[in-house]
Amino acid sequence: MMKICLKMTGCRNNRYELDRVLAWANANGVSVVPNESEADYSIINTCTVTHVADKKSRQLVRKTKNQNPNLKTIVFGCAARMQKESFEKIMEVDYLLPDLKAVLGFLEKHKDARPTGDIEEYRLQWNGARLINRSRALVQIQDGCDNYCTYCIIAAARGKSKSRSADKIIDEINEHVKNGYNEVVLTGINIGAYGCSVTTKPKESRLAELLRQILDETDIERVRLSSMGPEYFNCCSGRRSASTTTTTTIIEILTNPRICRHIHLSIQSGSDTVLKRMKRNYTVEMMDKIINRLKEDIPGIAITTDIIVGFPGETDAEFNETIEFVKRHQLAKVHAFPYSKRANTLAATMEMVPDSVKKDRMKTLQTLANQYRDAFLKSQIGESLPILWEAEVKPGIYEGLTDNYVRVHSVKKPIIRSITVESIRKQDLVMD
């Protein structure tokens, strides 16, 4: 019987796709082994969000094949699609496939058995199988993007936005509940655009409606949201009344104790002029209102974000606007990264910021962000928080994650995937 191993670079959407390969393997009696030395095939899902991600994807393919020259590599994903000619030249690539559907079709054919399900929307048959993310189950609710931000190639890599049906999402979550999962992470390229005909029409979003349905029709203990664009906090969805604003509608749902107190806002910059050059669909004033409202209505919430440093044309004054934004809101965590030039994007034709300037700005922003991250973590000392226990990270040391995105360690052995309420001590905090 075929043996496969699963590898990836990139985001939760890539991980979710490998979870579906795992579900297929479990349903078909195919062994999933932990490393390439035991495998017949290695399925590698690639990422192209930056040029560094492209490089890491190519390196992973070569490293995997070099560990076991006898295995066959099956390479797919965003980098494989967008850099097709480059991957075709890599000797370590045995099969270059366009997407997950093609991967599952290939595996069905080569296991010498008839198909057992709809390849387009493969039904998850976990039967207690350990997922790649073993403590929290990923559930993809949406894929693709129509925004075409000037720096980004993900819209081209993932295609047009498409939302899964609510019934299929509910069924999948209930399947995870049956298999002992207490937290699901809703993921997608642009989850705020769930239900939109295109991602550029945020008023069509039905994310709030979906969240209500999940709360009503499943017994999942915790629901965590992945990255969201700020513009979707001002859209109309869910139950409405003449007296409620759109923002109130969404935030009312987020105050439900079963939804994790953690929002990752895809901000990118704290300067309106930079946001305009990026072709982002929101303003700094809008973000200020959203963050203030979230902190007011959901005490203890962790608001995290991504910020691009050195976007083409970024002046000192524009960068300082971003610094002031971070100071104003003291975000729980900032993922800062320097602008990465991507071919076939509008930003690539703009005036570049020198690397030395980007390096200095990165240091300034990251130093500030780290101060606020440490302050947020220390503010949780003495709080009684629900902790999802994820793994034994060292002998006798167990790691868990609070609902508001604080990692903790414990020497007390928990049940993995269980949630317990614990008083947070200074020595428990994982200071990342």
The reported pLDDT for the residue numbered 280 is 96
Give CA–CA dist 420/373, Å, rounded: 24
What is the 8-class DSSP label of residue 349?
A: G
**Residue 16 φ then ψ, to 5°:** -60, -40
Residues 6+ apart with CB under 8 A from 84: 96
Residue 343 burial by Cβ neighbours in a 10 Å radius (0-12, 13-18, 19+): exposed
CA dihedral 58, 60, 62, 63 (to 10 degrees): 160
Question: Which tokens hold the place of 347?
Answer: 């930003």
Note the pLDDT tens digit of each residue in 86-128.
999 999 999 999 999 999 999 988 876 434 444 444 444 444 4
**Residue 410 φ then ψ, to 5°:** -150, 145
pTM: 0.87
Question: Which tokens hold the place of 139?
Answer: 């559930």
Rg (CA), the chain: 22
Measured on CA atoms in the order 37, 38, 43, 47, is the torsion positive or negative? negative
- The residue whose two tokens read 């991967």 is 103
The reported pLDDT for the residue numbered 50 is 85
| Phi-psi group of 382: left, alpha or beta (phi > 0 → left; psi -120 to 50 → alpha; rest → beta) | left
Give CA–CA dist 75/110, Å, rounded: 16
Note the pLDDT tens digit of each residue in 267-292.
999 999 999 999 999 999 999 999 99
Residues 6+ apart with CB under 8 A from 71: 36, 39, 40, 41, 42, 64, 65
246-254 and 284-297 helices, crossing angle to 10° = 40
The reported pLDDT for the residue numbered 1 is 77
Give CA–CA dist 80/54, Å, rounded: 9
- The residue whose two tokens read 């309420």 is 421
Exposure string (b/e) for 144-159, b if CB count within 10 Å is 16 or more?
Answer: bbbbebbbbbbbbbbe
List, in sequence order, every beta strand (DSSP E) within 310-381. Answer: 333-338
Instruction: Yes or no: say if 404 and 302 are a contact pair by the CB < 8 Å rule.
Output: yes
The reported pLDDT for the residue numbered 119 is 41
Instruction: Yes or no: say if 48 and 54 are a contact pair by the CB < 8 Å rule.
Output: yes
The reported pLDDT for the residue numbered 316 is 98
Residue 165 burial by Cβ neighbours in a 10 Å radius (0-12, 13-18, 19+): exposed
Low-confidence stretches of the chain (pLDDT beneath 70)? 112-134, 234-248
Give CA–CA dist 26/18, Å, rounded: 12
Give CA–CA dist 263/416, Å, rounded: 24
The reported pLDDT for the residue numbered 241 is 43
Residues 6+ apart with CB under 8 A from 234: 202, 246, 247, 286, 290
Give CA–CA dist 97/119, Å, rounded: 15
Give CA–CA dist 405/260, Å, rounded: 8
What is the 8-class DSSP label of residue 419?
A: E
The reported pLDDT for the residue numbered 363 is 98
The reported pLDDT for the residue numbered 111 is 77
309 has which bridge partners? 338
